[in-house]
Structure 1
Amino acid sequence: MSNHTDPIVIDPEGSDIQGEIARIRARGPVTRVVLPGGVPAWSVTDAAVLKEVLSGSEVSKDPHQHWPAFRNGEIGNDFPLLNWVNTRSMFTAYGSEHRRLRNFVAPAFTNRRTAALEPRIRAIADDLVAGLDAAPESGPVDLRGRFAYPLPLRVINELMGVPEHLIGPLRTCVDGIFDIALSAEAAVANYEEMIGLLQGLVGYRRENPADDMTSTLIAHADDPAKDFSVEELVGTLYLTINAGHETTVDLIDQSIFLLLTNPDQLAAALDGSPGWAEVIEEVLRFEPSIAHAPLRYAVKDLVLGGVTIAEGDPILSCPAGANRDPAVYGDSADEFDPARANKEHMAFGYGAHRCPGAPLARLEAQVALPTLFRRFPQMRLAVSPEELGTVPGFIANGHDRLPVFLK
């Protein structure tokens, strides 16, 4: 029989992410949970403790070095989060290894490179909105599928230099990576197919180099003076397309949803006070695209938030929990308020692993939202919020669909 001290078993479908996080937080800043696949872990929902976890070297993301259960073969191929912990990239690297890999990626996301993408982002947003405008008026339009989804996908394809023939197949694979509910066989097959497609991308760009991220990384991998393998190159592309696409889809999706369900806030944004940048920061705080970020491991025995964690124990950081910590945001932590003074958040992580693509995600949202809302100021949800469903899985935090009446 269960009692209140049993660990909270995380819902693999993520059907009520914020409700579940509130229940986890009620147990304390660092709490026992059970991950999909039956793996026990510690959830950190407290902002101060999470900053401590993410800024030090006592916690690692490398399971090969620091997760004994993984190293000893206790974590099988059927572990639903395997692709999140197993792919060799800066996402799963530690210490100097992480710094080495990150140094190859950082140049793709400099402020200069990001700013250079703005005209293309604007053209893509205008094109998508024009397509929506041309559609027959009668029925509802799914803005997730028709706007929030294709915009970041086209931007990331442009950034990475993905040729036309690989765009469709890669899109299918990206969807599968975030679907934790896939069977073990389907998840492994999807992962292998995606790695194959990315190897195909590398082959294509090796023959047809251009001014894109893939071509730049190939030049590093082909330089014997640089310590960067082709496997790491493919892992980096895998990380970029997964981390850089779904997260921005959810940011745009949640922004549209929160503005449509808070008409006063929408009116204020269209009026320019607070500005779109402020709105986006509050969306990132209130409904971050990554609710839980798997997975970290204690490098040694440590005490966090008054709880003793043993060396090798898995730790699940919870930015969505930290972003609504009452100790930081007071009684209004659970309210969406773009005018609030403190909108600091951990939607893009914190410390060494902070997301290098954060400026690009912000830019995409800052272009996309005003383009959409200025064209369709009368837009409204076509169903009640309860009917929207959620993205499968407990990691990504978005809606299954977003049907609206545009006019």
Structure 2
Amino acid sequence: MGDPRPLVIDATGRDIHAEAARIRERGPVTLVELPDGVEAWAVSSPELLKRLLTDPRVSKDPRRHWPRWINGEISPEWPLFTWVAVQNMFTAYGGEHKRLRALVAKAFTARRTAALQPRIEEITKTLLDGLEEAGRRNSVVDLREGFCYPLPIQVISELFGLPEEQGEELRAVVDGIFHTSAEPEEVMDIYTRLYAALGELVALKRRSPGDDLASALIAARDDEGDTRLSEQELLDTLVLMVSAGHETTVNLIDNAIHLLLTHPEQLAQVRSGGASWDDAIEEALRVQAPVASLPLRYAVEDLGMEEFGGPAGVVIGKGEAILAAYAAAGRDPEKYGADADRFDVARADKEHLAFGYGVHFCLGAPLGRLEARIALPALFDRFPGLRLAKEGELEPVDSFISNGHRALPALLS
């Protein structure tokens, strides 16, 4: 008989994969404890996750389906408050989700994404020039700070017409959203600053609309009749687009570079044409999911896991919270075999859930993949002697949601 107590999640995310292994050891669905004693069912089986993520009896709307929220038990000081408090397609359910997603989806069509390629290539070249210059001044450069981070943030900033002077503040508050061990004062400060910055952006775009997605969303707010966004939905949709629009891609590029540099035989296979850059990207997404665990979903009614192909006798009760354990699912040995922890660009089955699944599948996934597909070969072509500046484990970001490194120190030659 296993330990009946919930597994306490390390809010600092110091060792995401060791914790993911502990989650899997307890079975494909197990009770965990999030910050401040909030309990949720962590689902780590890829197949079980897919079935739950596509079932209409699983909701993302706390206002309708999470008693702890409805009863006022979730404080604005909770480190995950923003993740459940926002009113956008991330937390919407049923027809509301369809309405909100439809207003945003037209901004991320395949044609519009493909049209961004020349600009992404231009930004990439500029950043590589900057790295080269930095390498002449200092022997060690931080690839996360100088390359992985600025590429996606510049792309999303230009897409949404974010003023340059707002960039640093928006970066700081978005980082704060992912800081899952933050103290209450920091949580409240980040929340206040986030909405102040976005309020300024909306006011600016109302005064001077441009050919950007922020202006298009404001037009949808003001002109779409019965389907239009409310003012809160407008602000919270911007929160989602600006935060999700860069954090996952930063971690994707960061993790892919780190994996290739620590597995030189895999890098050689890609560079020789034995495997493609797409192979490397998909395997990086599988083995190092940029979002390790994603809060939260809620059972609309009692859900017996046996019905979903899960363990008999386990029931997620009506109103109980569900945590999608993507990092654990990406290394599930039942799906990927005994070497599930191994980075292997030639692996036949690279299917993963790094961008989610079902109706909430990430709209920006094609853009994230495009950015990585441009950035990675350009980096390794410019600096064929690239190597890490230190051996051993790098310090992870302070989060059990975001899976990346605080810094990626490297030598360019």
Q: TM-score when scaled to structure 1?
A: 0.97
**Corresponding residue for residue 215 of structure 1:** 215
**Corresponding residue for residue 407 of structure 2:** 401
Aligned residue for 2:90, secondary structure, equals helix
By how many angstroms is 1:297 displaced? 0.7
**Corresponding residue for residue 203 of structure 2:** 203
CA distance in structure 2 between the aligned counterparts of 1:324 and 1:194, rounded to whole angstroms:
34
CA distance in structure 1 between the aligned counterparts of 2:203 and 2:95, rounded to whole angstroms:
29
CA distance in structure 2 between the aligned counterparts of 1:5 and 1:302, rounded to whole angstroms:
19
**80-89 or 270-279: which moved more?**
270-279
8 A Cα contact 2:42 2:322, kept in partner: yes
Letter in 2 for 1:156: I
User: Structure 1, residues 77-98: CA drift from partner, whole Å, max 9, x if none?
Assistant: 2222111111111001111001
CA distance in structure 2 between the aligned counterparts of 1:82 and 1:189, rounded to whole angstroms:
12
Aligned residue for 2:32, secondary structure, equals strand
By how many angstroms is 1:137 displaced? 5.5
Aligned residue for 2:337, secondary structure, equals helix
8 A Cα contact 2:222 2:228, kept in partner: no
CA distance in structure 2 between the aligned counterparts of 1:344 and 1:385, rounded to whole angstroms:
28
By how many angstroms is 1:224 displaced? 5.2
**Corresponding residue for residue 171 of structure 1:** 171
Gap change, CA 1:137 and 1:48, over 3 Å in 2? same
Letter in 1 for 2:295: P
Aligned residue for 1:378, secondary structure, equals coil
User: Structure 1, residues 159-187: CA drift from partner, whole Å, max 9, x if none?
Assistant: 11111221121111111111122211211
Aligned match of 2:342 in 324, 335, 344?
335
By how many angstroms is 1:249 displaced? 0.5
By how many angstroms is 1:4 displaced? 3.1
CA distance in structure 2 between the aligned counterparts of 1:207 and 1:65, rounded to whole angstroms:
36
**Corresponding residue for residue 95 of structure 1:** 94
By how many angstroms is 1:138 displaced? 4.5
Letter in 1 for 2:119: R
Letter in 2 for 1:403: P
Aligned residue for 2:338, secondary structure, equals helix
User: Structure 1, residues 280-325: CA drift from partner, whole Å, max 9, x if none?
Assistant: 0000011010010100111001112231111000110111111112
8 A Cα contact 1:292 1:318, kept in partner: yes
Aligned residue for 1:343, secondary structure, equals coil
**Corresponding residue for residue 258 of structure 2:** 257
Letter in 2 for 1:180: T
CA distance in structure 2 between the aligned counterparts of 1:187 and 1:315, rounded to whole angstroms:
22
Q: How is 1:51-70 mapped onto 2 (pairs within 5 angstroms)?
A: 51-70=50-69
By how many angstroms is 1:330 displaced? 1.4
**Corresponding residue for residue 73 of structure 2:** 74
**Corresponding residue for residue 151 of structure 1:** 151
CA distance in structure 1 between the aligned counterparts of 2:195 and 2:250, rounded to whole angstroms:
22
By how many angstroms is 1:189 displaced? 1.5
Letter in 1 for 2:397: V
**Corresponding residue for residue 290 of structure 1:** 291
**Corresponding residue for residue 269 of structure 2:** 268
By how many angstroms is 1:6 displaced? 2.1
**Corresponding residue for residue 229 of structure 1:** 230
CA-atom RMSD, angstroms? 1.2
Aligned residue for 1:222, secondary structure, equals helix
CA distance in structure 2 between the aligned counterparts of 1:40 and 1:222, rounded to whole angstroms:
39
1:189 aligns with 2:196: no
Q: How is 1:309-388 mapped onto 2 (pairs within 5 angstroms)?
A: 309-386=316-393, 388=394
8 A Cα contact 1:37 1:78, kept in partner: no
Letter in 1 for 2:270: A
Aligned residue for 2:348, secondary structure, equals coil
Aligned residues: 404
Q: Which runs of 5+ in 2 are unaligned?
A: none
User: Structure 1, residues 202-258: CA drift from partner, whole Å, max 9, x if none?
Assistant: 111122222211111111111152332121111101001111111111000000000
Aligned residue for 2:298, secondary structure, equals strand
User: Structure 1, residues 43-86: CA drift from partner, whole Å, max 9, x if none?
Assistant: 00011110111011111111110000111012222222111111
Q: Which runs of 5+ in 1 are unaligned?
A: none
